[in-house]
Chains A and B, each alone.
Chain A
Amino acid sequence: MTARAPERAVSTTAGTRRPRPSSVATRLPGAALTVFTWVIGLVFVAPVLWLVLTAFKQENQAATNPPTLFFQPTLDRFTAVLGADFLPYLGNSAIATLASTLLVLALGLPAAYALSIAPVKRTQDVLFFFISTKMLPVVAVVVPIYVAAAHLSMLDNVWTLVVLYTAMNLPIAVWMLRSFFLEVPTAIVEAARMEGAGLPRILWSVMMPIMAPGIAATALICMIFSWNEFFFAVNLTAAQAATVPVFLTGFITSEGLFVAQLSAAVVMASLPIVVIGWTAQRQLVRGLSMGAVK
């Protein structure tokens, strides 16, 4: 699986312009297929493009039939959203996302390391346990969590979300990080050991630099999931600790009245995580499949 990329690179630099015959449609003329692909791609994301366009409209241009394509763009709707107390929600989301991601790394890195070194007999059981918690439907645990949070006066507290998001992301992180640990070449570690480096030194000076991209990717994946989480946020928070997705529930019944403002809010709510996702797209598959697919 990993040997694939270089092989590809070679075949293109060798100048044999023969297209890789993998797709059904390779027999079609290349240019036509390229145009077709672009059209399909644009149609698929048309809702997003339209949403972004709408966010820059005035309300009376946003809900028209036929739809308005040309207009004087304005930032009014964005300022209106910010005026509607959007920032506290943004702050809560930032805390919940960043704190839970840091906690995931603090717990996950040692665990993944322990699970990557010589197989403890129980390694696979532990790995299995971690991943199986990911399959646990939230509705099966929300009742006791709600009751416990109420008892501990932790309802409407952003740190409750931090704990729950950590539990939500830890299994993915452990699996992902372990797959990165396994990729650190054994020879390098052995060489460092021969030179007399102790374990802390090996971890910090040898493994860390190699692991850094993997750790970053893992953190980004965790941030995406935390930012987008809704079920716990809507059920366990109220005025104080509500996050960005909860802010958007205010638009459930806005029936054509605030479409431009809704669009502006959606753009602002999604932008941080969309940018992060674009940045991490090479690692997205790995995170989504818990490290199974690279």
Chain B
Amino acid sequence: MSAATAPPREATATPSPSTPARGRARVSGWARRAPLLPALVFMLVVTQLPFLATVVYSFRSWNLLRPDSQAWVGVANYAAVFTDRQFLGAAANTILITASCVVVAMLLGIGLALLLDRRFPGRGVVRTLVITPFLILPVATALLWKHIMFEPVFGLVNFVLSPFGVETFDWVSQAPVLSVVVALVWQWTPFMMLLVLAGLQSQGGDVLEAGQVDGASSWQSFVWITLPHLRRYIELGVLLGSVYVVNTFDTIYMMTQGGPGTASANLPFYIYQRTFLGFDIGQSAAMGVVVVVGTIIVAMLALRLIFRTFMNAQEARS
């Protein structure tokens, strides 16, 4: 993607003054760059070439089922993409799923992090348990929610809700987007929790004590001292989470197959269908390019933030 992106200006303008001057050995520029080259070339070949090819394909009419019918078609594929109702529906689903998953997972993550920040018997055990949903295969998580939690007759969710009059509600087919979001929130909450916990533990106790001495209530010191301190960690979690969740494919593939109809298809799943079930290379490529342009906006914010956090941490060390 970076073919289309440029480094954040502040990052290039100021070669960070605090980078340790470890390379005092007088090696020439090339000797110093040589170790970098294999990795750099590898990444260029494996990520940038295919992306360029995608851009080229996106201007062609090409269906694998009709190999002889290739032709340049200009922006026709893009025109088709933007008038494709299913594509627009998938785009709306992508935004809905990503935004709700990231926001809810972050709120739950903050809650869990606050609970786990305190010292208490068994903290390590609870912490280990709580990160488990993030480690389980996402494909397995989807199966777990579909067949064990959301199963209409024997599922745990309906069993727990049965005192409230829910009997055999078929979550996955009646509320497919909600079901997918629940599984994703469960999967991503530990990620948010870990980032917020790292933020909490980097907070100096002295500031909070000073606040307490000045008569701040717990709630006041949380809102006025802890939250501002956590801001960067929360931003980082939201942005990184968005970049990952936007690409969700496995959960939808396993739980709903985008269905019923295309009710729960997001962009990765819809493009997958067009590519591997419809074999429409030109259209799929155009959709891919559109997704990249959309992602760049979020990704640029995320990248700047990572750079800022990273460089600050470096400065703090020196």
Contact = CB atoms under 8 A, between A and B. Distances in A.
Contact of A292 (B40, B53, B153, B310): B310
B54 interface: yes
Contact of B313 (A1, A147, A167, A224): A1
A237 interface: no
B260 interface: no
A82 interface: no
A226 B16 CA distance: 33
A67 B111 CA distance: 30
Contacts, number: 404
Contact of B46 (A119, A163, A224): A163
Contacts of A126: 36, 40
B15 interface: yes
Given A1-B316, A129-B2, A139 B7 contact: no
A209 interface: no
B250 A230 contact: yes
B22 A117 contact: yes
B148 A145 contact: no
A48 B303 contact: no
Which among B20, B23, B126, B138 has the greatest number of chain A C-beta atoms within 10 A?
Answer: B20
Given A132-B303, A231-B250, A20 B147 contact: no
Contacts of A140: 1, 51, 54, 288-289, 291-292
Interface in A1-45: 1-2, 4, 7-8, 11-12, 19-27, 30, 33-34, 36-38, 40-42, 44-45
A243 B304 CA distance: 35
A47 B145 contact: yes
A50 B267 contact: no
Main secondary structure of the interface of A (DSSP, over half): helix
Interface in B18-55: 19-25, 29, 32-36, 38-40, 42-43, 46-51, 53-54
A290 interface: yes
B226 A132 contact: no
A88 interface: no
B271 to A, nearest CB: 4
B21 A20 contact: no
B96 interface: no
A219 interface: no
Contacts of A174: 39
A118 interface: yes
Given A132-B1, A281-B127, 13 more contacts: A44-B133, A48-B129, A48-B133, A67-B159, A111-B40, A186-B21, A224-B135, A248-B137, A248-B254, A251-B147, A269-B137, A278-B132, A285-B194
25 contacts: A8-B205, A20-B117, A21-B209, A37-B118, A38-B122, A45-B133, A47-B156, A48-B132, A54-B148, A65-B159, A123-B15, A125-B7, A133-B48, A137-B1, A139-B268, A140-B291, A141-B51, A147-B281, A148-B50, A166-B42, A252-B257, A259-B147, A262-B148, A289-B236, A293-B199
